[in-house]
Amino acid sequence: MRADAKRNYDRIVEVAREVFREQGYDASLDLVAKRAGVGPGTLYRHFPTRENLIDAIMQSWVDRVDEAADKALAQEGPPRDLLLHWFEEYVALISLHKGGPAKITSAMDDPASPIRTKCEVLKTAGDRVLDWLRAEGALREGVEVTQVARLVGGVATVADQGDLDPATVRPLLEVVADGLLV
């Protein structure tokens, strides 16, 4: 990749992150191009679809979900607290951008989605948490990580779309946790 190309690529991602945070994931891509000081052609060459651009943006905080799982596992305490703590981190992270939860959660079931790789990272992070709970004998039979991702993703989606604050979301996550644990 030529130096000027990389410069533009990085700048577009940076500007897109900002614009999407301001206006949501359906903001105008021409606006992103304009603010980044490039033509629309340049933007669309680097990112043929909106999804591709979102994918690039998400990379950084998918990594943080991975860390959050480790952090949750490092803590002492009863399984329910651990699970809830992880749920809250997860929701907070995928809600960093308006529309993010819906995007991530629906991509989980779409093998063709460009952000699929991100979902895989989220799933393996979730699996580490579930494995630990299983080892503790705290988890009900037959619980799959996909189910958990859908449940928590659903709560996050609702919270995002309704602008709910963490205190309102907490009891919802508690219901999910109680439904999952023995």
Residues in the site for DNA, rule: CB under 7 A?
Answer: 1-5, 7-9, 26-31, 37-42, 44-46, 48-50
Which partner, its own copies, DNA, none, binds residue 141 by CB below 5 to 8 Å per kind? none
- Record the tokens describing residue 96, joined without a space: 């960093």
Q: What is the rounded distance in angstroms from the CA atom of residue 78 to the CA atom of residue 182?
A: 13
Task: Map the footprint of its own copies across residues 160-179, applying CB under 8 A.
Answer: 161-164, 171-172, 174-179
Which partner, DNA, its own copies, none, binds residue 171 by CB below 5 to 8 Å per kind? its own copies
Q: What is the rounded distance in angstroms from the CA atom of residue 127 to the CA atom of residue 132?
A: 9
Contact between 155 and its own copies per CB under 8 A: yes
Q: What is the rounded distance in angstroms from the CA atom of residue 77 to the CA atom of residue 145?
A: 22
Q: Which of 67, 65, 81 is nearest to 136 (CA)?
A: 81
CB of 113 to DNA, least distance (A): 15
Cβ neighbours of residue 122 closer than 8 Å, sequence gap 6 or more: 62, 65, 90, 94, 104, 108, 149
CB of 177 to its own copies, least distance (A): 7
Binding site for its own copies (CB under 8 A): 102, 105-106, 108-110, 142-143, 147, 150-151, 153-155, 157-158, 161-164, 171-172, 174-180
